[in-house]
């Protein structure tokens, strides 16, 4: 059940548990599950305790939290509602105004409407693949036909995908692998916006 795209649901993408597993593993933890038909399911998550003191407040350019504050309008396209919600909270903390969509077709429409209204997006973050829909791989061409100077970051849990390895060849300005944290998100946005990729 922790394998990417494994799902028992008709419309599910199966990435929720794969991302959860990856986050927990990256924190030195462990996740396991027990399930009984007709009774229920229990997940057990084990995380190592930290002996470090909790840091509060901001200092300097990056602050104690380590993220680079920014401003601007960001369009995030991801088929997973959980990813959109978490990334939305991170964007708000960093200082960006975020708008969200679940597939490439909607992303292109929103990008075009924002451009025509005089409030264009500074950066678009696109999920590489959207099961049953248009992902970033297909949407980037249409987006660049609307604005050849569009700044688009490709996002995926599959860092070994050829598009991720050669993102500039496909028209992307940067990459971010899922799951990402607030520091990684702030740095890639800062680099793409300022042109320091």
The pLDDT of 11-40, averaged and rounded, is 82
Q: Decide if pLDDT at 63 tops 60.
A: no
Of all residues in the chain, the percent with pLDDT exceeding 70 is 86
1-25 pLDDT, tens digit each = 777 666 766 676 666 787 888 888 8
Contact between 122 and 70 (Cβ < 8 Å): no
Question: How much is the pLDDT for 64?
Answer: 47
The confidence score (pLDDT) of residue 86 equals 93
Which comes out higher in pLDDT, residue 64 or 174? Answer: 174
| CA dist., res. 101 & res. 8, Å (int) | 24
Sequence-distant (≥ 6) Cβ neighbours of residue 49 within 8 angstroms:
none
Return the pLDDT at 102.
94
Top pLDDT among 35 and 196 is at 35
Pair type for strands 40-46 and 30-36 = antiparallel
Average pLDDT over residues 80-97: 94
- Euclidean distance between CA atoms 95 and 89, whole angstroms: 10
Cα(172)–Cα(167) distance, integer angstroms: 5
- Per-range mean pLDDT, top range of 17-31, 55-69, 99-113, 124-138: 99-113
Residue 73 CA to residue 103 CA, distance in Å, equals 18
pLDDT at site 58: 44
Contact 187, 193 (CB under 8 A): no
Residue 14: predicted pLDDT: 60
């Amino acid at each position: 059940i922790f394998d990417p795209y494994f799902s028992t649901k008709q419309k599910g993408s199966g990435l929720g548990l794969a991302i959860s597993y990856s986050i927990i593993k990256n924190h030195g933890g462990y996740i396991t599950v027990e399930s009984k038909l007709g009774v229920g399911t229990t997940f057990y998550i084990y995380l190592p305790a930290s002996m470090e003191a909790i840091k509060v407040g901001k200092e300097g350019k990056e602050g104690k939290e380590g993220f680079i504050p920014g401003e601007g309008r960001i369009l995030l396209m991801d088929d997973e509602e959980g990813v959109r919600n978490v990334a939305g909270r991170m964007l708000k903390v960093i200082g960006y105004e975020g708008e969200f969509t679940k597939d490439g077709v909607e992303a292109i429409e929103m990008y075009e409407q924002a451009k025509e209204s005089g409030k264009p997006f500074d950066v678009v973050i696109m999920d590489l693949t959207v099961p049953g829909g248009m992902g970033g791989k297909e949407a980037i061409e249409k987006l660049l036909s609307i604005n050849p100077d569009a700044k688009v970051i490709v996002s995926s849990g599959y860092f070994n995908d050829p598009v991720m390895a050669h993102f500039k060849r496909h028209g992307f300005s940067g990459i971010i692998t899922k799951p990402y944290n607030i520091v990684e998100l702030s740095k890639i946005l800062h680099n793409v916006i300022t042109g320091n990729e």
